[in-house]
Amino acid sequence: MSDYYETLGSLLRDRLGTDDDPFEQAVEGRQGRYRSAGNKIERRVPKKRTYKEPEQKVEPIRIPVPDALTEDFAVLQVLPGVPLDYCKKAWKHLLKKYHPDVIAEESARQQAASIVRRINRSYKRIEIWFSTGKVQDYDSL
């Protein structure tokens, strides 16, 4: 068996053309640790879980709303007088739910388009009321 390795070594020396180890130069200039194969199993102690108190859901402060806008808040499925950011979240949620591109049937798609128009008008009226304090008519939107 040793004869096999000697033959193999002589073939490699002939092929390389020298007796010097070609990898010796790379090893001499190396600093730091050698890399491992990465298949070592490291035992890690699991982190201790801590109990987290559930957050109390705080009701938003509501403000008085004109009677003309109570139906618009109902369209957005929020309580009348909640802040605009709650209305915006509800508006986005309803648009995702009723968007016509999500629905496959043509008749249902037309019905969803009218629902989306109603949702958009209601949100626009609420948004204008929050910014200016004036209630807009549906015709002017």
Q: What is the pLDDT of residue 26?
A: 60
In degrees, to the nearest 5, what angle opens at C-alpha 74 toward C-alphas 122 and 140? 20
d(CA 131, CA 65): 14
Q: Which run of H or of E encompasses 70?
A: helix 67-75
pLDDT at 9 over 90: no
Q: What is the pLDDT of residue 72?
A: 95
d(CA 131, CA 139): 19
Q: Which of 126, 134, 138 is nearest to 72 (CA)?
A: 126
CB neighbours (10 Å) of residue 2? 6
- CB-CB contact of 130 with 61 (8 Å): no
127 falls in which pLDDT band (50, 70, 90)? very high
- CB-CB contact of 115 with 99 (8 Å): no
50 falls in which pLDDT band (50, 70, 90)? confident
Q: What is the pLDDT of residues 72-94, one digit of tens each?
A: 999 999 999 999 999 999 999 99
| Residue 74 or 101, more confident | 74
Question: What average pLDDT does the structure give for the chain?
Answer: 83
- DSSP string for 21-61: -TTHHHHHT--SPPPP-S-PPPP-PPPPP---PPPPPPPPP
Q: What is the pLDDT of residue 24?
A: 64
- The answer for residues whose C-beta is within 8 angstroms of residue 22's C-beta and 6 or more apart is 16
